[in-house]
């Protein structure tokens, strides 16, 4: 066995602590500040050892786990590996870079003291598990104390344990499980911006994978997927023959096949997963209306189905409509219709429900919750809570979403409108008004002025308007602007750049929302009211709803500065 004989161990508990300390020692070694003897001692005692295959690293992941080669090559050896860059590898990199930056300013005495502390003064509780004990069971027992592992980590351990109970299939199942988990963890950490939650993915998949036909609504509302998951994959069920190698393989492959759709659901515009622009758009819109939509298990099933792209788009459009009507317009509780659609997720996944049937069902359930009177009452409650010049539609959480859709209806674009900035009030709030708005402020009460300011027709969604000082070229004029002029209607519509001669900014060249407003020669209660009616008519058309019976009341509630007796447009 070469110069030394080593017995490999699996670390059941304490992996992160030992890995962090090892990376710290590797960072100290890379400084090359220690005397040669101390450098060699550090290297050979805590980082590497001699074997028949040459120098091997003392600590690492299993080779079939994500980030193993990145840890060995990039962190311990300072070279490059072909390991995919994920949030996990970024964490390893950040850890090494942190130690490198902190150690850079320490002298030799400080470094030697740190090495003594780490290698001689730290104490560990060390338990070597007897070979006759089941390491998988010990793993679960220990990790129910202290900081718990994710359900996905515990599930892998459980499945590996069950594999040992199935004669003749153990090695094959172990390879399938390890390969699937490597793939799953790679995709959960694919984005450098956000590490996807293990348990959220596992929960959504379990809802999709398992039949819930016999579960009552109350049972599903108190749904404890982790308990049911471990009850399903239990040693007792394997020994009794209720589940076998085929069942485990089916589940593991389904979990593996679902992680890329899950990634697309969370990052619809990431090109790592292929999808049509339209499908990306509708997923993005569903996320905007409700970040943690309970339709996600259905969308997960939809994305990996053989359904055509056109049908997928129709399903997603129906889901977005349901979410907007039930969540935004009516303000129903977050669990409204949830048990029903959890059942539908598994039915669709198994092929017991097709796309047309699903669309009809989604529309039918939305109709149960939405009607004009509920919309009116919900908005009345909202306006009672949020009054004043920044209340009403200005404070409604979905106004931005509504105006994005209105913008998209103008220009026909299907890409995200991320460049659009926050809402702007054309008729400005009191702290920004000058004499140019006296035609409103001198003819209306303070209450009505506030209502006008926060009304739907007075809000525009615009692009950011930077007016940076030119670095080179052009004539810098730096024209001073009176503060009251800055918020006049004419100034908002079209104004000269404060830096560049001949350059103009304003609504006239902005978003479709802004260009529409810029077409008006003046801005008052009539223009605000008419634009509100136009947007509400768009909303009725876009989400296929009838709000004509409540339009007079709604335009008064959303404060377009029109009295209740004022004639109003019909909206259908």
Which of 317, 339, 370 is where one domain is finished? 370
| Within-domain flag for 209 | yes
H/E stretch holding 65 reads none
Q: Where are the beta strands (DSSP E) in 365-523?
A: 420-425, 459-463, 495-496, 504-505
Cβ atoms of 487 and 441 within 8 Å: the answer is: no
Residues 194 and 343 in one domain: yes
Inside any domain, residue 301? yes
Residue 195 shares a structural domain with residue 247: yes
The rounded distance, in Å, linking the Cα atoms of 269 and 256 is 21
- Judgement on whether residues 414 and 350 belong to the same structural domain of the protein: no
- Same domain for 321 and 441, yes or no, is no
CB atoms within 10 A of CB 416: 16
- The residues, any chain, with a CB within 8 Å of residue 464's CB and separated by 6 or more, are 419, 421
Which residue ranges of the chain lie beneath pLDDT 50?
Answer: 1-3, 132-133, 136-138, 140-147, 414-416, 474, 552, 556, 558-572
Q: Give 420's contacts (C-beta < 8 A, 6+ positions apart).
A: 404, 407, 461, 462, 463, 511
> How far is Cα 399 from Cα 388, in angstroms, rounded to an integer?
16
**pTM of structure:** 0.75
Burial of 214 (0-12, 13-18, 19+ CB in 10 A): exposed
Same-domain status, 462 and 502:
yes
The 3-class SS string of 114-171 reads HHHHHHHHCCCCCCCCCCCCCHHHHHHHHCCCCCCCCHHHHHHHHHHHHHHCCCCCHH
pLDDT at 420: 64
| Phi, psi of 570, rounded to the nearest 5 degrees | -90, 135
- The reply to whether 131 falls in a domain is no
Residue 160: how many other CB atoms lie within 10 Å: 18
DSSP one-letter code for 548: G
Q: Which of 507-535 are b and which e, b meaning 16 or more Cβ less than 10 Å from the residue's Cβ?
A: beebbbbbbbbbebeebbbebbbebbbbb
Distance between CA atoms of residues 218 and 369, nearest Å: 19
CB 439 within 8 A of CB 524: yes
Pair 372, 547: CB distance under 8 Å: yes
pLDDT value, residue 472: 53
Helix 399-411 vs helix 277-289: crossing angle, to nearest 10: 160
Residue 569 domain flag: no
Within-domain flag for 8: no
The pLDDT of residue 522 is 93
Q: How much is the pLDDT for 357?
A: 97
Do 210 and 345 lie in one domain? The reply is yes
Give ∠ CA 100-102-105 in degrees, rounded to 5: 100
SS3 331: coil
Dist. CA 148–CA 196, nearest whole Å = 17
Q: How confident is the model at residue 468, as a pLDDT?
A: 53
Kindly state whether residues 332 and 413 are assigned to the same domain. no
Q: Between the CA atoms of 437, 442, 448 and 451, what dihedral angle is there, to the nearest 10 degrees?
A: 10
Q: CA 421, CA 465: separation in Å to the nearest integer? A: 9
Q: What angle do CA 319, 321, 327 make, to 5 degrees?
A: 95
Whether residues 362 and 395 share a domain: the answer is: no
Same domain, yes or no: 208 and 114: no
Residue 337: count other Cβ atoms within 10 Å of its Cβ: 21
Residue 126 lies in a domain: no
Q: Which domain holds residue 539?
A: 388-468+485-557
Residue 339 lies in a domain: yes
Return the bridge partners of 424, or none: 460
Residues 403 and 284 in one domain: no
Question: What is the distance, to the nearest Å, from the Cα of residue 352 to the centroid of all Cα atoms in its chain?
Answer: 30
Number of structural domains, the chain?
A: 3
- Dist CA 105 CA 175 (whole Å): 46
Residue 461 DSSP label: E
Tracing tokens 């009838």 back to the chain, one arrives at 546
Place of tokens 């004029």: 477
DSSP state of 468: P
The predicted structure's pLDDT at residue 550: 52
**Cα–Cα distance measured from residue 324 to residue 284, given in angstroms and rounded to the nearest whole number:** 13
Closest CA to 363 of 212, 543, 547: 543
Could you give the angle at the alpha carbon of 60 between the alpha carbons of 57 and 62, nearest 5°? 125
How far is the C-alpha of 419 from the C-alpha of 422, rounded, in Å? Answer: 10
Long-range contacts of range 101-108, CB-CB < 8 Å, 24 or more positions apart? 103/27, 103/28, 103/31, 108/33, 108/34
Closest-CA residue to 406 (of 571, 527, 539, 554): 539
Query: Are 441 and 539 members of one domain?
Result: yes
Express each pLDDT in 171-224 by its tens digit.
899 999 989 998 998 899 888 778 899 989 999 999 999 888 766 555 556 667
- Asked, for residue 204, whether it belongs to a domain, the answer is yes
Measured CA to CA, the distance from residue 308 to residue 317 in angstroms comes to: 14
**Axis-axis angle for helices 198-209, 225-232 (nearest 10):** 60
From CA 316, how far away is CA 278, in angstroms rounded?
A: 10
432 and 366, same structural domain? no
For 114-131, give one letter per residue: b (16+ CB within 10 A) or e. Answer: bbeebeeeeeeeeeeeee
CA distance 557 to 561: 10
Tell which of 313, 342, 370 closes a domain.
370
């Amino acid at each position: 066995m070469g110069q030394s004989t080593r017995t490999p161990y699996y670390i059941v508990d304490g992996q992160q602590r030992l890995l962090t300390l090892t990376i710290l020692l590797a960072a100290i070694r890379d400084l090359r500040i220690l005397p040669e003897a101390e450098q060699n001692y550090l290297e050979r005692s805590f980082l590497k050892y001699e074997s028949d295959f040459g120098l091997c690293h003392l600590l690492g992941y299993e080779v079939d786990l994500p980030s193993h080669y990145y840890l060995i090559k990039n962190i311990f050896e300072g070279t490059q590996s072909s390991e995919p860059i994920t949030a996990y590898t970024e964490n390893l990199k950040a850890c090494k870079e942190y130690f490198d930056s902190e150690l850079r300013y320490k002298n030799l005495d400080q470094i030697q003291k740190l090495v003594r502390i780490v290698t001689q003064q730290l104490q560990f509780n060390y338990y070597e598990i007897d070979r006759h004990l089941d390491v998988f069971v010990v793993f679960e027992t220990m990790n129910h104390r202290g900081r718990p592992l994710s359900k996905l980590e515990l599930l892998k351990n459980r499945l590996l344990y069950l594999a040992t109970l199935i004669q003749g299939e153990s090695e094959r199942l172990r390879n399938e499980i390890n390969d699937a988990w490597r793939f799953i963890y790679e995709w959960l950490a694919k984005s450098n911006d956000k590490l996807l939650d293990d348990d959220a993915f596992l929960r959504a998949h379990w809802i999709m994978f398992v039949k819930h036909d016999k579960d009552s609504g109350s049972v599903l509302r108190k749904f404890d997927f982790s308990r049911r998951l471990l009850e399903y994959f239990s040693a007792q069920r394997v020994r009794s023959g209720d589940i076998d190698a085929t069942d485990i393989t089916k589940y593991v492959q389904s979990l593996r096949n679902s992680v890329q759709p899950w990634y697309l659901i969370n990052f619809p515009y990431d090109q790592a997963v292929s999808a049509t622009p339209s499908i990306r758009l509708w997923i993005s819109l569903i996320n905007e209306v409700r970040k943690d939509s309970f339709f996600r298990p259905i969308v997960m099933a939809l994305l990996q189905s053989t359904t055509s792209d056109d049908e997928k788009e129709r399903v997603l459009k129906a889901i977005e409509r349901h979410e907007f009507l039930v969540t935004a317009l009516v303000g129903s509780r977050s669990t409204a219709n949830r048990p029903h659609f959890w059942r539908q997720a598994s039915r669709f996944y198994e092929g017991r429900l097709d796309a047309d049937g699903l669309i009809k069902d989604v529309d039918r359930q939305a109709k149960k919750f939405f009607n004009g009177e509920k919309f009116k009452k919900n908005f009345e409650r909202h306006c009672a809570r949020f009054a004043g010049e920044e209340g009403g539609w200005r404070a409604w959480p979905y106004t931005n979403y509504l105006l994005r859709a209105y913008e998209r209806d103008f220009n026909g674009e299907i890409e995200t409108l991320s460049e659009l900035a926050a809402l702007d009030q054309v008729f400005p709030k009191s702290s920004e008004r000058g004499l140019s708005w006296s035609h409103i402020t001198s003819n209306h009460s303070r209450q009505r002025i506030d209502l006008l300011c926060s009304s739907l027709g007075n809000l525009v969604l615009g692009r950011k308007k930077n007016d940076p000082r030119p670095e080179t070229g052009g004539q810098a004029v730096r024209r001073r602007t009176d503060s009251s002029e800055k918020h006049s209607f004419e100034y908002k519509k079209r104004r000269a750049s404060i830096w560049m001669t001949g350059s103009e900014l304003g609504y006239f060249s902005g978003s479709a929302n802004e260009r529409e407003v810029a077409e008006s020669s003046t801005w008052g209660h009539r223009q605000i009211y008419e634009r509100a009616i136009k947007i509400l008519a768009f909303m009725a058309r876009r989400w296929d709803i009838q709000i004509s019976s409540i339009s007079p009341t709604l335009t008064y509630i959303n404060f377009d500065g029109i009295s209740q007796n004022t004639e109003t447009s019909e909206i259908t």
